[in-house]
Amino acid sequence: MWSRIISRLLTSLVVAWASVTATFLALHALPGRIQDILAGDVEYPGLREAIAAEWGLDQSLPMQYFEFLSRILRGDFGTSYVLRQPVIEVVGSQLLPTVELALTAGVLAIVIAGLIALLTAGRGRLSRELASFVELVFASTPVFWLGILLLMAFSFNLRWFPVSGAEGWSSLVLPAITLALPTAGLLTQVLREAMEKTLDQPFVTTVRSRGVGEFIIRWRHVLRHALLPAVTLGGWLIGGLLGGAVITEKVFGRPGLGTVTLGAVLTHDVPVVLTVVLLAAFIHVAASTVLDILYVLIDPRLRAQ
Protein backbone atom coordinates (compact mmCIF):
# COMPACT_ATOMS: atom_id res chain seq x y z
CA MET A 1 0.00 0.00 0.00
CA TRP A 2 2.68 2.49 1.03
CA SER A 3 4.80 1.64 -1.98
CA ARG A 4 1.75 2.48 -4.10
CA ILE A 5 1.33 5.85 -2.43
CA ILE A 6 5.02 6.70 -2.54
CA SER A 7 5.16 5.86 -6.21
CA ARG A 8 2.14 8.08 -6.69
CA LEU A 9 3.91 10.95 -4.98
CA LEU A 10 7.02 10.40 -7.07
CA THR A 11 4.82 10.35 -10.12
CA SER A 12 3.31 13.65 -9.08
CA LEU A 13 6.78 15.15 -8.83
CA VAL A 14 7.63 13.84 -12.28
CA VAL A 15 4.36 15.17 -13.57
CA ALA A 16 4.94 18.59 -12.07
CA TRP A 17 8.49 18.76 -13.36
CA ALA A 18 7.54 17.48 -16.79
CA SER A 19 4.67 19.91 -17.16
CA VAL A 20 6.82 22.85 -16.09
CA THR A 21 9.49 21.79 -18.57
CA ALA A 22 6.92 21.24 -21.29
CA THR A 23 5.57 24.73 -20.75
CA PHE A 24 9.05 26.21 -20.80
CA LEU A 25 9.80 24.47 -24.07
CA ALA A 26 6.38 25.45 -25.48
CA LEU A 27 7.12 29.07 -24.61
CA HIS A 28 10.37 28.92 -26.51
CA ALA A 29 8.96 26.90 -29.38
CA LEU A 30 6.31 29.53 -30.02
CA PRO A 31 6.83 31.89 -32.93
CA GLY A 32 7.70 35.42 -31.90
CA ARG A 33 9.82 36.73 -29.04
CA ILE A 34 8.95 35.58 -25.55
CA GLN A 35 8.77 39.22 -24.53
CA ASP A 36 5.91 39.74 -26.98
CA ILE A 37 4.16 36.53 -25.97
CA LEU A 38 4.32 37.39 -22.30
CA ALA A 39 3.47 41.03 -22.79
CA GLY A 40 0.28 39.92 -24.52
CA ASP A 41 -2.11 42.82 -24.29
CA VAL A 42 -0.01 45.37 -22.63
CA GLU A 43 1.96 47.85 -24.62
CA TYR A 44 4.23 50.41 -22.97
CA PRO A 45 7.85 51.40 -23.12
CA GLY A 46 10.08 49.48 -20.76
CA LEU A 47 7.73 46.50 -20.45
CA ARG A 48 9.72 44.18 -22.66
CA GLU A 49 12.94 45.06 -20.91
CA ALA A 50 11.25 44.36 -17.58
CA ILE A 51 10.13 40.94 -18.81
CA ALA A 52 13.52 40.15 -20.27
CA ALA A 53 15.00 40.92 -16.88
CA GLU A 54 12.43 38.91 -14.94
CA TRP A 55 12.77 35.86 -17.18
CA GLY A 56 16.51 36.24 -17.54
CA LEU A 57 16.15 36.19 -21.30
CA ASP A 58 19.67 37.55 -21.73
CA GLN A 59 21.15 34.32 -20.37
CA SER A 60 21.74 31.07 -22.20
CA LEU A 61 18.77 28.74 -22.66
CA PRO A 62 19.80 26.19 -20.01
CA MET A 63 20.44 29.03 -17.58
CA GLN A 64 16.98 30.40 -18.32
CA TYR A 65 15.55 26.96 -17.74
CA PHE A 66 17.11 26.55 -14.31
CA GLU A 67 16.22 30.12 -13.45
CA PHE A 68 12.64 29.31 -14.41
CA LEU A 69 12.59 26.06 -12.40
CA SER A 70 14.03 27.62 -9.29
CA ARG A 71 11.54 30.47 -9.51
CA ILE A 72 8.65 28.00 -9.66
CA LEU A 73 10.15 26.13 -6.71
CA ARG A 74 10.31 29.37 -4.79
CA GLY A 75 6.59 29.72 -5.56
CA ASP A 76 7.32 32.80 -7.66
CA PHE A 77 5.17 32.46 -10.75
CA GLY A 78 6.06 35.83 -12.19
CA THR A 79 3.94 38.89 -12.76
CA SER A 80 0.79 39.33 -14.76
CA TYR A 81 1.61 42.19 -17.10
CA VAL A 82 -2.08 42.63 -17.82
CA LEU A 83 -3.16 42.90 -14.18
CA ARG A 84 0.17 44.35 -13.09
CA GLN A 85 0.27 42.12 -10.04
CA PRO A 86 2.20 39.05 -8.92
CA VAL A 87 0.41 36.06 -10.40
CA ILE A 88 0.46 34.19 -7.12
CA GLU A 89 -1.67 36.93 -5.52
CA VAL A 90 -4.13 37.05 -8.39
CA VAL A 91 -4.62 33.29 -8.43
CA GLY A 92 -4.46 32.88 -4.68
CA SER A 93 -7.27 35.37 -4.16
CA GLN A 94 -9.46 33.40 -6.58
CA LEU A 95 -8.72 29.88 -5.36
CA LEU A 96 -11.21 29.73 -2.55
CA PRO A 97 -14.49 30.39 -4.42
CA THR A 98 -13.60 27.82 -7.05
CA VAL A 99 -12.60 25.13 -4.57
CA GLU A 100 -15.75 25.91 -2.63
CA LEU A 101 -17.85 25.46 -5.76
CA ALA A 102 -16.09 22.34 -6.98
CA LEU A 103 -16.21 20.68 -3.57
CA THR A 104 -19.89 21.39 -3.01
CA ALA A 105 -20.73 20.18 -6.49
CA GLY A 106 -18.58 17.08 -6.00
CA VAL A 107 -20.25 16.13 -2.74
CA LEU A 108 -23.67 16.86 -4.21
CA ALA A 109 -22.95 14.70 -7.24
CA ILE A 110 -21.74 11.80 -5.10
CA VAL A 111 -24.76 11.97 -2.83
CA ILE A 112 -27.23 12.14 -5.71
CA ALA A 113 -25.50 9.36 -7.61
CA GLY A 114 -25.24 7.17 -4.52
CA LEU A 115 -28.91 7.54 -3.64
CA ILE A 116 -30.26 6.97 -7.13
CA ALA A 117 -27.98 4.01 -7.68
CA LEU A 118 -28.98 2.50 -4.32
CA LEU A 119 -32.64 2.90 -5.10
CA THR A 120 -32.73 1.88 -8.74
CA ALA A 121 -29.98 -0.72 -9.21
CA GLY A 122 -31.47 -4.04 -10.26
CA ARG A 123 -34.94 -2.82 -9.33
CA GLY A 124 -38.13 -2.51 -11.33
CA ARG A 125 -37.52 -2.09 -15.04
CA LEU A 126 -39.55 1.10 -15.40
CA SER A 127 -37.92 3.13 -12.64
CA ARG A 128 -34.51 1.94 -13.84
CA GLU A 129 -35.23 2.88 -17.44
CA LEU A 130 -36.52 6.26 -16.42
CA ALA A 131 -33.56 6.96 -14.14
CA SER A 132 -30.98 5.89 -16.68
CA PHE A 133 -32.62 8.04 -19.33
CA VAL A 134 -32.57 11.09 -17.10
CA GLU A 135 -28.93 10.40 -16.27
CA LEU A 136 -28.10 10.10 -19.93
CA VAL A 137 -29.73 13.45 -20.61
CA PHE A 138 -27.83 15.16 -17.82
CA ALA A 139 -24.55 13.49 -18.70
CA SER A 140 -25.08 14.71 -22.27
CA THR A 141 -26.04 18.30 -21.53
CA PRO A 142 -23.43 21.07 -21.72
CA VAL A 143 -22.80 22.52 -18.27
CA PHE A 144 -23.20 26.11 -19.42
CA TRP A 145 -26.48 25.32 -21.11
CA LEU A 146 -27.86 23.71 -18.00
CA GLY A 147 -26.66 26.72 -16.01
CA ILE A 148 -28.41 29.21 -18.25
CA LEU A 149 -31.68 27.30 -18.03
CA LEU A 150 -31.50 27.02 -14.23
CA LEU A 151 -30.61 30.69 -14.05
CA MET A 152 -33.64 31.61 -16.14
CA ALA A 153 -35.96 29.45 -14.11
CA PHE A 154 -34.89 29.90 -10.51
CA SER A 155 -33.23 33.30 -10.44
CA PHE A 156 -34.97 35.45 -13.00
CA ASN A 157 -38.46 34.05 -12.89
CA LEU A 158 -38.91 32.39 -9.51
CA ARG A 159 -36.27 34.58 -7.84
CA TRP A 160 -35.42 31.87 -5.32
CA PHE A 161 -31.70 32.33 -5.63
CA PRO A 162 -29.43 35.29 -6.30
CA VAL A 163 -28.28 35.67 -9.88
CA SER A 164 -24.60 35.98 -9.23
CA GLY A 165 -21.79 36.67 -6.84
CA ALA A 166 -20.32 34.52 -4.11
CA GLU A 167 -21.88 35.78 -0.93
CA GLY A 168 -23.34 33.12 1.32
CA TRP A 169 -24.64 29.67 0.52
CA SER A 170 -27.65 30.87 -1.47
CA SER A 171 -25.40 32.13 -4.25
CA LEU A 172 -23.71 28.73 -4.29
CA VAL A 173 -26.84 26.65 -4.80
CA LEU A 174 -27.46 27.05 -8.51
CA PRO A 175 -23.83 26.89 -9.65
CA ALA A 176 -23.26 23.82 -7.50
CA ILE A 177 -26.32 22.08 -8.92
CA THR A 178 -25.35 23.06 -12.44
CA LEU A 179 -21.92 21.61 -11.98
CA ALA A 180 -23.14 18.57 -10.08
CA LEU A 181 -25.90 17.28 -12.34
CA PRO A 182 -23.86 16.23 -15.39
CA THR A 183 -21.24 14.68 -13.12
CA ALA A 184 -23.92 12.93 -11.11
CA GLY A 185 -25.44 11.65 -14.34
CA LEU A 186 -22.28 9.86 -15.34
CA LEU A 187 -21.40 8.77 -11.83
CA THR A 188 -24.82 7.21 -11.33
CA GLN A 189 -24.49 5.21 -14.54
CA VAL A 190 -21.14 3.84 -13.39
CA LEU A 191 -22.32 3.19 -9.86
CA ARG A 192 -25.50 1.44 -10.95
CA GLU A 193 -23.71 -0.69 -13.48
CA ALA A 194 -21.20 -1.69 -10.84
CA MET A 195 -23.94 -2.38 -8.29
CA GLU A 196 -25.83 -4.56 -10.74
CA LYS A 197 -22.65 -6.47 -11.55
CA THR A 198 -22.19 -6.94 -7.82
CA LEU A 199 -25.81 -7.94 -7.24
CA ASP A 200 -25.15 -10.82 -9.64
CA GLN A 201 -22.25 -12.02 -7.49
CA PRO A 202 -22.81 -15.29 -5.65
CA PHE A 203 -22.01 -13.77 -2.28
CA VAL A 204 -25.09 -11.59 -2.53
CA THR A 205 -27.18 -14.75 -2.67
CA THR A 206 -25.31 -15.95 0.40
CA VAL A 207 -26.12 -12.73 2.20
CA ARG A 208 -29.76 -12.98 1.16
CA SER A 209 -29.82 -16.53 2.47
CA ARG A 210 -28.96 -15.13 5.89
CA GLY A 211 -32.25 -13.24 5.89
CA VAL A 212 -30.64 -9.82 5.55
CA GLY A 213 -32.96 -7.09 4.30
CA GLU A 214 -32.60 -5.84 0.74
CA PHE A 215 -31.58 -2.30 1.68
CA ILE A 216 -28.99 -3.49 4.18
CA ILE A 217 -27.57 -5.75 1.49
CA ARG A 218 -27.12 -2.82 -0.84
CA TRP A 219 -25.89 -0.50 1.84
CA ARG A 220 -23.56 -2.82 3.73
CA HIS A 221 -22.28 -5.08 0.95
CA VAL A 222 -23.07 -4.00 -2.59
CA LEU A 223 -22.40 -0.27 -2.39
CA ARG A 224 -18.88 -0.83 -1.13
CA HIS A 225 -18.08 -2.99 -4.13
CA ALA A 226 -19.63 -0.45 -6.45
CA LEU A 227 -17.42 2.24 -4.96
CA LEU A 228 -14.28 0.71 -6.47
CA PRO A 229 -15.02 1.63 -10.09
CA ALA A 230 -16.45 4.91 -8.87
CA VAL A 231 -13.18 5.72 -7.13
CA THR A 232 -11.21 4.87 -10.25
CA LEU A 233 -13.36 7.54 -11.89
CA GLY A 234 -12.40 9.94 -9.14
CA GLY A 235 -9.35 11.52 -10.72
CA TRP A 236 -11.18 12.13 -13.95
CA LEU A 237 -14.10 13.45 -11.92
CA ILE A 238 -12.01 16.07 -10.13
CA GLY A 239 -10.63 17.23 -13.43
CA GLY A 240 -14.15 17.49 -14.79
CA LEU A 241 -15.28 19.51 -11.79
CA LEU A 242 -12.38 21.95 -12.02
CA GLY A 243 -12.87 22.33 -15.76
CA GLY A 244 -16.62 22.65 -15.36
CA ALA A 245 -16.11 25.27 -12.67
CA VAL A 246 -14.46 27.50 -15.25
CA ILE A 247 -17.55 27.47 -17.43
CA THR A 248 -20.01 27.57 -14.55
CA GLU A 249 -18.36 30.64 -13.09
CA LYS A 250 -18.60 32.35 -16.45
CA VAL A 251 -22.32 31.63 -16.67
CA PHE A 252 -23.13 32.72 -13.13
CA GLY A 253 -20.72 35.65 -13.10
CA ARG A 254 -19.04 34.08 -10.10
CA PRO A 255 -15.55 35.12 -9.15
CA GLY A 256 -12.97 32.36 -9.17
CA LEU A 257 -10.17 30.69 -11.02
CA GLY A 258 -12.40 30.21 -14.03
CA THR A 259 -13.02 33.90 -14.49
CA VAL A 260 -9.36 34.68 -14.04
CA THR A 261 -8.26 31.89 -16.39
CA LEU A 262 -10.69 32.84 -19.11
CA GLY A 263 -9.69 36.47 -18.83
CA ALA A 264 -6.05 35.43 -18.96
CA VAL A 265 -6.59 33.24 -22.00
CA LEU A 266 -8.39 36.02 -23.83
CA THR A 267 -5.86 38.70 -22.92
CA HIS A 268 -3.08 36.20 -23.63
CA ASP A 269 -1.86 36.54 -20.07
CA VAL A 270 0.47 33.54 -20.22
CA PRO A 271 1.93 33.65 -16.69
CA VAL A 272 -1.55 33.47 -15.18
CA VAL A 273 -2.77 30.65 -17.41
CA LEU A 274 0.43 28.77 -16.67
CA THR A 275 0.03 29.09 -12.94
CA VAL A 276 -3.61 28.08 -13.01
CA VAL A 277 -2.88 24.97 -15.05
CA LEU A 278 0.01 23.97 -12.81
CA LEU A 279 -2.20 24.54 -9.80
CA ALA A 280 -4.96 22.41 -11.28
CA ALA A 281 -2.44 19.68 -11.98
CA PHE A 282 -1.22 19.86 -8.40
CA ILE A 283 -4.75 19.64 -7.01
CA HIS A 284 -5.48 16.72 -9.27
CA VAL A 285 -2.39 14.81 -8.23
CA ALA A 286 -3.00 15.47 -4.55
CA ALA A 287 -6.60 14.32 -4.88
CA SER A 288 -5.77 11.15 -6.75
CA THR A 289 -3.23 10.27 -4.07
CA VAL A 290 -6.03 10.48 -1.55
CA LEU A 291 -8.18 8.35 -3.85
CA ASP A 292 -5.45 5.71 -4.01
CA ILE A 293 -5.43 5.47 -0.26
CA LEU A 294 -9.21 5.29 -0.31
CA TYR A 295 -9.00 2.49 -2.84
CA VAL A 296 -6.81 0.44 -0.58
CA LEU A 297 -9.01 1.14 2.40
CA ILE A 298 -12.05 -0.09 0.52
CA ASP A 299 -10.52 -3.24 -0.89
CA PRO A 300 -8.44 -5.35 1.53
CA ARG A 301 -7.30 -7.53 -1.37
CA LEU A 302 -5.08 -4.68 -2.53
CA ARG A 303 -3.27 -4.42 0.80
CA ALA A 304 -1.47 -7.71 0.27
CA GLN A 305 0.12 -6.82 -3.05
* Three-state DSSP class for residue 86: strand
What are the φ and ψ backbone dihedral angles of 55, each rounded to 5 degrees? -95, 10
Q: Which is nearer to other proteins, 56 or 86 (CB)?
A: 86
Task: Select from 148, 290, 293, 294 the one that contacts other proteins (CB under 8 A).
Answer: 148
Q: x/- contact string, 271-300, with other proteins (CB under 8 A)?
A: --xx-xx--xx--xx--x--xx--x--xxx
Q: Which is nearer to other proteins, 56 or 243 (CB)?
A: 243
Asked if residues 39 and 32 have their Cβ atoms less than 8 Å apart, the reply is no
The torsion of the CA quartet 68, 74, 75, 79, rounded to 10 degrees, works out to -50
Residue type, 191: L
Binding segment (CB under 8 A) for other proteins, from list 62-70, 106-114, 173-181, 237-245: 237-245
Distance CA 268, CA 263 (A): 8
Q: Is 168 in the site for other proteins (CB under 8 A)?
A: no
Q: Is 95 in the site for other proteins (CB under 8 A)?
A: no
Measured CA to CA in angstroms, residue 299 lies from 23, 117, 122, 231, 303 at distances of: 38, 20, 23, 11, 8
Residue type, 107: V
Q: Is 175 in the site for other proteins (CB under 8 A)?
A: no
Q: Is 218 in the site for other proteins (CB under 8 A)?
A: no
- The nearest distance, CB 215 to other proteins, in angstroms, is 12
Q: How far apart are the first and last CA of the chain?
A: 7
Q: Is 109 in the site for other proteins (CB under 8 A)?
A: no
Binding segment (CB under 8 A) for other proteins, from list 59-67, 68-76, 172-180, 195-203: 195-203
Distance CA 147, CA 247 (A): 9
- The nearest distance, CB 97 to other proteins, in angstroms, is 8
Task: Select from 112, 113, 259, 271 the one that contacts other proteins (CB under 8 A).
Answer: 259
